């Protein structure tokens, strides 16, 4: 087993363990921190795929921004109350159904013939261009429409969170 | 392969060693500068002119009693100082300390990881530093640390946005996110502070806010919050928060030097191009560190000169002034670059 494989198994197993920890833990802060660790290990997997840009964005957006806000809200909650919470059996059942459906779906996808990587472009300097060029040349319109939708959602949130509208 | 790995390990050890040394002596510099500005003598007992003071401080921290209050969440209380300190050390991996060091036919690069998304890597890693402060505030399980932690996380998230947006024009002009390429561009053309003064100013102010330094040190405002998020800490755990703050200062200084002040280059030959001889490479590393020290001194100088902002002023400055300004700046630079390209 070479270094690459060892790292792949390390990141994957660590990621799965963290994922289990997120749902098995009763303390919301511990769950949130496990989720942050999971994002970091996932970024490690992206690095192994030489997708440095995606890895950096993964850490920057999910671990660095989204989860900090989550933690911020969780810290203001009553932790003791949620620690006393018992397992909801309906929730466990629903979770098993969703996970089973996902595994079934993955089996179908993995049984398809493998598509080899297009062109042997492993030039690291092309990493960012590979992401940006298609985005701003081929998919310019969908990209801008997405941006507009996000803006609308943001304005909506600001409007909803105001207590008294003038 | 083995030799290459060994070379990398030596480089990592050297960077961490030099950086921790600088951090220790920045604390020393801070005490000297503050004494000088307040017309006192300052530390002068340990060794000639007190230069061994950081060693004595370190020993003192190690031998102090490590108090673990009974009301804290022990795991997170112990992890928090480590989480604060580590990101600063990791972020140094992509900052170019020098151009090359040609030794006996081998050319050693002046950067540990010559990453193409260098600046994104730095922002990603340093955005993790806020967890340490948030966790410290929460795990301490008492009022003042909690308020300090809340203030700090809000402040750091807000100013991260300013920091990220303010450097966009730099990379638009240099044409690469690779920090080594940015420095080479500046060595070949001109220092970017001359072309992007507004970018630099916003970055400088945001860097002060991001490192929780005066005039934005509200998370640990003594008069209001005792010590803020590290009120409950003692001994080496407290020292690690301290080291984390100064390591973050070092990273921000190094980043300002790299992005705006030409990194390892000087604007005359033979220092304005990647080194082909050993002594040129060595001098360039010295030039980089000298520039960093200037910025570290600026951090200290400001701390002992300017009073603290109010919290609402801090937030208004970030969201209502800096973010719109940076967006206008990006737009202007884009228009100018497009016109020049024509």
What number of C-beta contacts closer than 8 Å exist between A and B? 69
Does residue A134 belong to any structural domain of this protein?
A: yes
A147 part of contact set with chain B, CB < 8 Å:
no
Does residue A114 belong to any structural domain of this protein?
A: no
Instruction: Band the pLDDT of B328: cuts 50, 70, 90.
Output: very high
Which of A53, A57, A72 has the CB atom closest to B153's CB atom? A72
Give the DSSP letter of residue B279: H
Instruction: Band the pLDDT of A125: cuts 50, 70, 90.
Output: very low
Four-CA torsion B22, B87, B202, B218, nearest 10 degrees: -90
pLDDT tens-digit map of B217-258: 776 766 677 777 777 787 788 888 888 888 888 999 999 998
- Planar angle of CA A139, A140, A142, nearest 5 degrees: 70
Domain that holds residue A76: 1-81+127-166
Share of chain B above pLDDT 70, in %: 97
B279-307 mean pLDDT: 87
pLDDT tens-digit map of B59-103: 888 888 888 888 878 888 888 888 888 888 888 888 888 877 777
B286-291 mean pLDDT: 88
Does residue A103 belong to any structural domain of this protein?
A: no
pTM score: 0.85
Determine, for residues B131 and A29 on separate chains, whether the beta-carbon distance falls below 8 Å.
Answer: no
Does residue A62 belong to any structural domain of this protein?
A: yes
pLDDT tens-digit map of B33-66: 888 888 888 888 887 877 888 888 888 888 888 8
CA distance, residue A126 to nearest chain B CA (Å):
9
Does residue A64 belong to any structural domain of this protein?
A: yes
ipTM over the 0.95 cut-off: no
Domain spans of chain B? 62-341
Q: What residue of A is the nearest CA neighbor of B79? A: A33
pLDDT tens-digit map of A1-51: 688 888 889 999 999 999 988 888 878 888 888 999 999 999 988 888 877
Tokens representing B13 are 């050890």
A122 part of contact set with chain B, CB < 8 Å:
no
Residue B120 has pLDDT above 70, yes or no: yes
CB of B126 within 8 A of CB of B248? yes
Instruction: Band the pLDDT of A166: cuts 50, 70, 90.
Output: low
Determine, for residues B160 and A72 on separate chains, whether the beta-carbon distance falls below 8 Å.
Answer: no
- Taking only Cα atoms into account, the Rg of chain A, rounded to an integer number of angstroms, comes to 20
Give pLDDT, residue A118. 59
Give pLDDT, residue B7. 78
Does residue A11 belong to any structural domain of this protein?
A: yes
Give the DSSP letter of residue B4: H
Q: What residue of B is the nearest CA neighbor of A64? A: B127
Does residue A98 belong to any structural domain of this protein?
A: no
Determine, for residues B124 and A71 on separate chains, whether the beta-carbon distance falls below 8 Å.
Answer: no
A54 part of contact set with chain B, CB < 8 Å:
no
**Domain count of chain A?**
1
CATH of the domain at A135: 1.20.120.1200
B304-308 mean pLDDT: 84
Residue A124 has pLDDT above 60, yes or no: no
For an interface test with B, give the residue of A60, A69, A72 to mutate (most B CBs within 10 A): A60
């Amino acid at each position: 087993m070479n270094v690459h494989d060892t790292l792949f198994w390390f990141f994957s197993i660590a990621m799965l363990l963290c994922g289990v920890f997120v749902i098995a833990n009763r303390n919301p802060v511990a769950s949130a921190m496990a989720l942050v660790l999971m994002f970091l290990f996932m970024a490690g997997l992206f690095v192994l795929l030489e997708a440095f840009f995606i890895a950096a964005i993964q850490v920057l957006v999910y671990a660095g921004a989204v989860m900090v806000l989550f933690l911020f809200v969780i810290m203001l909650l009553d932790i003791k109350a949620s620690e006393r919470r018992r397992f909801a059996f309906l929730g466990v059942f629903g979770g098993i159904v969703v996970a089973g459906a996902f595994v079934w779906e993955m089996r179908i996808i993995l049984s398809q013939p493998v598509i080899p990587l297009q062109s042997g472009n492993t030039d690291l300097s092309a990493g960012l261009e590979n992401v940006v060029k298609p985005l701003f040349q081929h998919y310019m319109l969908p990209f801008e429409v997405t941006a507009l939708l996000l803006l609308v959602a943001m304005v909506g949130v600001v409007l909803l969170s105001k207590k008294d509208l003038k | 392969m083995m030799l290459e790995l060994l070379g990398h390990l030596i480089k990592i050890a050297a960077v961490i060693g030099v950086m921790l040394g600088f951090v220790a002596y920045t604390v020393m510099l801070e005490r000297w500068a503050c004494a000088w500005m307040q017309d006192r003598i300052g530390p002068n007992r340990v060794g000639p002119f007190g230069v061994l003071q950081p060693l004595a401080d370190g020993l003192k921290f190690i031998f102090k009693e490590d108090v673990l209050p009974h009301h804290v969440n022990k795991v997170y209380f112990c992890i928090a100082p480590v989480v604060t300190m580590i990101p600063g050390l990791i972020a140094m991996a992509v900052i170019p300390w020098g151009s090359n060091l040609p030794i006996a036919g081998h050319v050693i690069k002046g950067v540990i990881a010559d990453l193409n998304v260098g600046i994104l890597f730095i922002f990603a890693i340093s955005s993790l530093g806020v967890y340490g402060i948030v966790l410290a505030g929460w795990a301490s399980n008492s009022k003042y640390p909690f308020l300090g932690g809340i203030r700090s996380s809000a402040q750091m998230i807000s100013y991260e946005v300013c920091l990220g947006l303010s450097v966009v024009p730099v990379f638009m002009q240099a044409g690469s996110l690779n920090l080594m390429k940015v420095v080479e561009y500046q060595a070949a053309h001109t220092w970017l502070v001359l072309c992007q003064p507004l970018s630099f100013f916003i970055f400088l102010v945001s860097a002060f806010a991001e490192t929780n330094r005066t005039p934005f040190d509200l998370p640990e405002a003594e008069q209001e919050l005792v010590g803020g998020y590290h009120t409950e800490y003692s001994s080496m755990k407290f020292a690690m928060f301290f080291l984390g703050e100064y390591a973050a200062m070092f990273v921000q200084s190094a980043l300002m030097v790299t992005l705006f002040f030409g990194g390892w280059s000087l604007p005359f030959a033979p220092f304005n191009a990647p080194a082909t001889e050993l002594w040129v490479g060595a001098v360039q590393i010295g030039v980089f560190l000298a520039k960093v020290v200037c910025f570290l001194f600026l951090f200290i100088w400001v701390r002992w000169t300017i009073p603290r902002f109010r919290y609402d002023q801090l937030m208004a400055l970030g969201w209502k002034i800096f973010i719109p300004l940076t967006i206008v700046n990006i737009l202007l630079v884009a228009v100018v670059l497009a016109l020049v390209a024509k």
